[in-house]
Structure 1
Amino acid sequence: MTDAAHGPHAGRNVVSLSRDAANRNTSIDVIRALCLIMIFVNHVPGNPLERLTTKNFGFSDAAEIFVLLSGVSAAYAYGAKYGQGARLVTTLKIWRRSGVLYVAHLATTLATLGIFCFLATVYARPELLEAINIAPVIAEPATALVGVVTLGHQLGYNNILPVYAVMLLLLPIFLAIGKRSLTMMVALSGSIWIFSGWYRIGFPNYPNDGVWFLNPLSWQFLFVIGIAAALYLRRGGELPARLDLIIGCIAYLVLSFAWVRIPLWGVDASFDLPAVLTGFDKTFLSLPRLLHVLAAGYLIAMIPQLNQVFRLSARNPLAVLGRHALPVFLLGTLLAMAAQAWRIAHGSTALSDIAIVCGGTMLLFALAWFLEWHRELSGNRSAARSGQIRDLGLSTLVARGD
């Protein structure tokens, strides 16, 4: 990848990534919203609607899509600002955002513990205190709470925000390198990915053994690829529109679909290579998973008809949902944890599961619409206040005769 490319079609691929305020492309918002919904559905495991999510149609799932889009969004939010004279300020803003995610993770973890402990007490279901990695907190609360605060102990289905927080801590380093060379940035990131996956190196759990379920040293590569793609396009580059690449990506997606649906999980295709290159390990983001999400992203970016599927009105419910990703994700996490605990305590049927998932999804949309309404209301108030200040200033000048 060169740092820029120019030509008669330069910038053509911005159709899928542009964030121009005057003509906002909602593709990113819509795809992010679909990811948030699928993450919520998948976090209520065993429900019938789970079969409709992307994990049942290929090697990767909504988490990979979400991280790739997060890299693209981070590039637009901070990439242009990270220049001479603004690096320190931008770095502090990035790290502040990382701190917000850390606090949000602690809040959802505490709320999850409260939900499971409350239902375990009310309905006398002690098995709730052994679910989703809660048992160490009950058995050794002092040690486990140290792990919670240091991110070494993460509850099940509460492990996405820590990875994103760590990636944001690393973001200024990658942006600094990317200012000099996007190729160097991607190469460094890829080296970290392959090294950590090859030797199974990751952030350690505490007090449990092992490493984080989503290893930041591996997942940062997908994040950086998203950053590099966005910055490359902003600098005038364009993605290669090659028929062989398009056909190759389609073939790989078809192969992935067949592998999952037949399924072919028992087939040994490792060729005695490390699992990071031939396996399907989510912790270390194995190559088949990585290629799957990149192939899908490339096709969406390069095929206009496919891109238009996700390019909806800015007032579309999916676009609104995607614009408020963090609060929607937090609510989705809490609703999923409450649903899991309730199902353990009371059991479930296909009908009740569908009702729970559909009801929870409606609440996610309701929150997004409320936040959108509140933002528009605050914006109108700010505009009115600014107008009053301008009028006051003019009146003062007239009164003074200046």
Structure 2
Amino acid sequence: MTIRTILPPKGRDYRLDLLRGFANWAIYLDHIPNNVVNWLTQRNYGFSDAADLFVFISGYTASFVYARIMLERGFVIGGTRLIRRAWQIYVAHIVLFVMYIAEIGYLAHRYADPNLANEFNVAGFMANPAETLYQGLILAFKPVNMDVLPLYILLMVAFPPVLWTMLRLPNLTLAASFLLYLAARHFGWNLAAFPTGSWYFNPFCWQFLFIFGGWFALGGSIEARPLIRSRALLWLGSTYLLFAFVMTMAGRFPEIAHGMPAWLYDAFNPNDKTNLALYRLVHFVVLAFFLNRFLPRDWRGLEWPIFRPLIKCGQQSLEVFCVGVFFAVGAHVVLVEISDAIGMQIVVSVVGIALLTAVAYYRSWSKKADKPKSPSLPAPGISR
């Protein structure tokens, strides 16, 4: 079957690193409740948030990297590389899972606050550790704030045949993904969680953002360029973003909500994140199109020193994400048990971001140090 996709140019796309770094910082800040600094994140100004960006870029990057491998070395090699990456993410998730539960258990004991275990959904582990650990290993049990990586793992494991199909039938693959999204919302499909309920990120719905990211990377952005560059999208998209801003503000401030019809407010509040509400999906698609239009791959601002920490955090995304989830618990406990003053909120936010950046720079240095240096050749002698 003919390959119908357009592979991105070789070389690192620093826009992805920048946006993924921003998503990691935003996720850390958003995981700290009652924190004035998280007003800097995108979730406060529209329907979508950093999780949408994270999943989209994950799909984009997976296609960007593994499509070339699949084309050059075959489906089996490309598919096994995807599975190997999913395994690496799984191992990181399990290590984080154990450390996360130990952290919460220690802090609950240290501050004599048993409510922490309930707040972070780990009380069941304290009561029945063996069963809860098993459910955690099969990704059914997820403490609070640990929902993204299981979604990522599942999408990566299922991605090899999808990527093979997308390389040949990109638009049909995207359409099938969208139909699955609609069906899951209509019929209420989701995976069961332990001990009750279902996955916070419904994989049958969120898979569309992942596939959309892959489609975007493999020529979709080029195919959609007339739409992306159109004046109609500029005006309609801007109007929709403004509408999303108003509705989100209404969810934050009752004074705004009281000034609009109840049916309108109730249609968008609360924001349906679990099933990726259509209005949320449209909001992110508009943002993705605008970023593609106004943030070119060769933008010189990507070389500005102010963006280097974000880019570095994006390049070491998995490590930074895991450390951010771990640190966010400590930051939350500091605000609850020690002080929730605005000054302390700023301190835990700034210190946390600084630590995430330090982890990213260390991990980058460590990877370079682990690479064997090519032996230097002796200088050529003079023939006699």
Q: Same fold (TM over 0.5)?
A: yes
Q: 2:219 aligns with which of 232, 244, 248?
A: 232
Contact 2:46 2:248 (C-alpha < 8 Å) held by counterparts: yes
Q: 2:311 aligns with which of 305, 319, 333?
A: 319
Q: 2:165 aligns with which of 177, 199, 206?
A: 177
State how far apart, in whole Å, the 2-side matches of 1:75 and 1:310 are: 25
Q: 1:350 aligns with which of 325, 339, 342?
A: 342
Q: What is the count of residue pairs matched by the alignment?
A: 371
Residue type at the aligned position of 1:351: G
CA RMSD of aligned residues (A): 3.0
Contact 2:67 2:78 (C-alpha < 8 Å) held by counterparts: no
State how far apart, in whole Å, the 1-side matches of 2:127 and 2:269 are: 38
State how far apart, in whole Å, the 1-side matches of 2:98 and 2:290 are: 40
Match of 1:196 in 2: 184
Q: Shift of the alpha carbon at 1:238?
A: 5.5
Residue type at the aligned position of 1:202: N
Match of 2:31 in 1: 43
Contact 1:279 1:288 (C-alpha < 8 Å) held by counterparts: no
Q: Shift of the alpha carbon at 1:340?
A: 2.4
State how far apart, in whole Å, the 2-side matches of 1:249 and 1:93 are: 38
Q: 1:220 aligns with which of 207, 210, 220?
A: 207
The farther-off stretch of 81-90 and 173-182 is: 81-90
Q: Shift of the alpha carbon at 1:85?
A: 5.1
Runs of 4+ displaced beyond 6 Å? none
Q: Pairwise mapping of residues 3-402 of structure 1 onto structure 2 (< 5 A)?
A: 20-21=10-11, 24-83=12-71, 86-208=74-196, 210-232=197-219, 237=223, 239-240=225-226, 241-263=229-251, 267-269=262-264, 280-303=271-294, 308=299, 311-313=302-304, 316-379=308-371, 381-383=372-374, 385=375, 387-388=376-377
SS in 2 for 1:203: coil
Per-residue CA deviation, residues 150-202 of structure 1 (Å, 9 max, x unaligned), is 11110001111000000101111211211221011111111111111111111
Contact 1:278 1:288 (C-alpha < 8 Å) held by counterparts: no
Q: Shift of the alpha carbon at 1:28?
A: 1.2
- Identity, % of aligned pairs? 25
What is the TM-score normalised by the length of structure 2?
A: 0.87
State how far apart, in whole Å, the 2-side matches of 1:166 and 1:137 are: 23
The farther-off stretch of 162-171 and 142-151 is: 142-151
Contact 2:14 2:297 (C-alpha < 8 Å) held by counterparts: no
Residue type at the aligned position of 2:364: E
SS in 2 for 1:186: helix
Contact 1:278 1:287 (C-alpha < 8 Å) held by counterparts: no
SS in 2 for 1:382: coil
Contact 2:59 2:214 (C-alpha < 8 Å) held by counterparts: yes
State how far apart, in whole Å, the 2-side matches of 1:306 and 1:246 are: 20
